[in-house]
Each structure stands twice: as structure tokens, then as C-alpha cells.
Amino acid sequence: MHQLYKRFGLPTISLFEHAILIIITIATLVAIGQEIVTMINNRHVALADLLLLFIYLEVLAMVAGYAAEGHLPVRMPIYIAIVALARYLILDMKAMDDWRVLTASASALMLAATVVVIKFGQTYFSGENNESRAPK
């Protein structure tokens, strides 16, 4: 059974991974194109538009990283979530009550702290020689 999985299962999964990466890339490029057309039609570029393009750029970077390395750095989706929360705050802050502003801001702060903890863990607690990198 293990040999059967190695022979057919892994290549099939790899094929689906690449197909989905292509679909995500095409969908993201279409979304970028639609956003650019909207900006051209409106003859106006707002900060929200730029942040949305930045989110799309992060998605493309995440796809490129996954295609190149074969795994997804867990920090990439967190970065995208932080930018999405910032965009949400910028767009809707005037219409939000204090509680929503506080919770969205706290969420962004918790995500940023999560990135710091993950980076710390990857720096000091992964690899062959943990003792040499551990803080003293």
C-alpha cells in the first residue's frame, strides 16, 4: 500500500497542488486587473485601492513561495490578514463604533504578536543546533 501511495498518490497530489496554484494565480491576476480597471474608470486612486492591490500582491508572493519551496510559510497568511484588517479599519472607521475599532485593532496587534512569536520560534528553536542560537 505504501508503494502504491508513493507511485500514484504523491504525483496526483502534486498535480492537484500545481493546478490549484495556477487557478489561484489566474484568479488573483483577474482581480488585480478588475481593480485597475475600476481605478481607471473612477479616475481616482484611493488608499483602500492601494491596500487591496497590496493584498493581491501578497497572495501572489505566497503562491510563488509555495511553488518554489513546496511549503507555505505560516507567516504569509498572517501578513495578509494584518493588511486586510488595516484596510477594514481605514475604510470603515468612521462608521464603526468604538468597540469594533478596539476589537479590530486588538486583532491586528495579536496577529503581529503572533508573527513575532513564530519568527522567534523559528530562529531559536528549529534546526540542528538549537543551543547555539538560544538566548543566554
Which pLDDT tens digit goes with each residue over 10-50? 788 889 989 999 999 999 999 999 999 999 999 999 988 99
Report the C-alpha gap between 63 and 121 in whole angstroms.
24
Judge contact between 101 and 88, C-beta under 8 A. no
Confidence of residue 5 (pLDDT cuts 50, 70, 90): low
Does position 129 have pLDDT exceeding 90, yes or no? no
Between 110 and 132, name the one with better pLDDT. Answer: 110
What's the structural domain count of the chain? 1
Q: How much is the average pLDDT of 84-101?
A: 90
- The upper half-sphere exposure of residue 90, i.e. CA atoms within 13 Å in the direction of its Cβ, equals 13
Give the range of the structural domain holding residue 100, as residue numbers without chain letter: 2-133
Between 67 and 22, name the one with better pLDDT. Answer: 22
Judge contact between 110 and 82, C-beta under 8 A. no
Does position 115 have pLDDT exceeding 60, yes or no? yes
Count helices and strands (H / E) in the chain: 6, 0
Confidence of residue 127 (pLDDT cuts 50, 70, 90): low
Across the chain, what does the average pLDDT equal? 87
Percent of the chain with pLDDT over 70: 90
Dihedral of CA 31/34/40/43: which sign? negative
Length of the chain (residues): 136
Does position 128 have pLDDT exceeding 70, yes or no? no
pTM value surpassing 0.75: no
